[in-house]
């Protein structure tokens, strides 16, 4: 009886924790969208500067500035190059969040190189319950899976005890 009660409690906790993942993915998407927009705005500014100074494109301007004798100009060019590369990564992420399924989004979000972003998102995260059918289904399935994994050692010990008694 106590075992069943513990099993139900573990499932309830696993279910509630699992329901948070779709919400966290939505919060991450909002954060990513804001960062993407700001970075796109920055790179658009670089493109306008490149055009105004008759460079073929942003990359040509950056390549030219990376060869400059002035260290501050080279450092600025490297920062611009890093921003352009960040925009490409963010664009790939935005594509996943626009067209991917929940697991693809979670894999992108939980990549070790982006854990710092997840930590930033968690600062403003509020616990809740997803209202989408997909979010609820994910919570249920993942909650059941977590429950099975957590309770498996206890179930195996119980089966072992019963086998010893007979």
The band of 18, judged by pLDDT with boundaries at 50, 70 and 90, is confident
Share of the chain above pLDDT 90, in %: 59
Share of the chain above pLDDT 70, in %: 97
Residues 6+ apart with CB under 8 A from 120: 31
| CB neighbourhood size of 25 (10 A) | 21
| pLDDT, mean of residues 6-28 | 87
To the nearest 10 degrees (0 to 180), the angle between helices 102-109 and 71-99 is 160
| pLDDT, mean of residues 103-125 | 92
Whether 139 shows a pLDDT value over 70: the answer reads yes
Which residue, among 51, 50, 31, has the nearest Cα to 39 in the 3D structure? 31
To the nearest 10 degrees (0 to 180), the angle between helices 133-165 and 102-109 is 80
Q: pTM of the prediction?
A: 0.76
* More confident site: 97 or 17: 97
């Amino acid at each position: 009886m106590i075992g069943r009660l513990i099993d139900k409690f573990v499932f309830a906790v696993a279910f509630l924790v699992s329901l948070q993942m779709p919400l966290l993915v939505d919060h991450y998407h909002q954060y990513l969208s804001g960062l993407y927009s700001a970075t796109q705005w920055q790179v658009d500014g670089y493109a306008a500067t490149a055009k105004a100074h008759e460079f073929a494109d942003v990359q040509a301007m950056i390549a030219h500035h990376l060869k400059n004798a002035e260290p501050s100009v080279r450092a600025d060019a490297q920062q611009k190059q890093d921003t352009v590369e960040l925009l490409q990564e963010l664009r790939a992420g935005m594509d996943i969040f626009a067209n991917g399924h929940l697991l693809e989004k979670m894999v992108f979000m939980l990549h070790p190189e982006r854990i710092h972003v997840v930590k930033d998102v968690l600062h403003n995260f509020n616990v809740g319950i997803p209202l989408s059918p997909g979010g609820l289904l994910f919570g249920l399935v993942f909650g059941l899976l977590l429950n099975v994994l957590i309770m498996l050692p206890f179930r195996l010990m119980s089966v072992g005890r019963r086998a010893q008694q007979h």
